[in-house]
Amino acid sequence: AQSVTQPDIHITVSEGASLELRCNYSYGATPYLFWYVQSPGQGLQLLLKYFSGDTLVQGIKGFEAEFKRSQSSFNLRKPSVHWSDAAEYFCAVGPLQGAQKLVFGQGTRLTINP
C-alpha cells in the first residue's frame, strides 16, 4: 500500500536555526516525491519535487530535500529559517506514470520562535 509518514506532528525552532522535516514513504514503484507548504487558511504551494537525477533537489524559499532510496526517505531541510516559514508542511508521493493521485503525509506544523 502507498503511504507517507511524517513522524513529527509539530516542530518548534528558533528563527535563524536550521530545520529538517522528516518524510518516509512506502511505495510499490519508483516514486515521484513532493513537498508542499500550506500557510493558515491558504492552499497548497509546491516547494519542490523529485523526479529523477540528482538526489538533492533545490526548491523555492531556500528549501532543499534529499532523496535516499535505501532509507525510503525524502527529508526537507533549510539552513536558516525565517519567521515567515511558520506553516504546515506536507510530504506527498505519486507515481512516475501520470494521471494518478498523490498520497499525502499527515503534515508537520512548524512554529518559529523569535
Partner 1 sequence: DSGVTQTPKHLITATGQRVTLRCSPRSGDLSVYWYQQSLDQGLQFLIQYYNGEERAKGNILERFSAQQFPDLHSELNLSSLELGDSALYFCASSVGRPGVVTNYGYTFGSGTRLTVV
Residues at the interface with partner 1 (CB under 8 A): 34, 36, 41-46, 49, 51-52, 90, 94, 96-107
Q: Using CA atoms, how far apart are residues 98 and 114, in angstroms rounded to an integer? A: 42
Instruction: Considering the complex, state which of residue 6 and residue 112 has its C-beta at the smaller distance from partner 1.
Output: 6
C-alpha–C-alpha distance, residues 104 and 27, integer Å: 12
Cβ-based nearer residue to partner 1, 15 or 86:
86
Between the alpha carbon of residue 23 and those of residues 15, 38, 41, 42, 68, the distances in Å are: 22, 16, 23, 22, 11
| Closest approach of partner 1 to the CB of residue 47, in Å | 12
Closest approach, Cβ 114 to partner 1, in A, equals 26
C-alpha cell recorded at residue 1:
500500500
Paired strand residues for 36: 46, 90
Q: How far is the CB of 79 from partner 1 (least distance, A)?
A: 25
Comparing CB distances to partner 1, the nearer of 32 and 85 is: 32
> Minimal distance in Å, beta carbon 104 to partner 1?
4
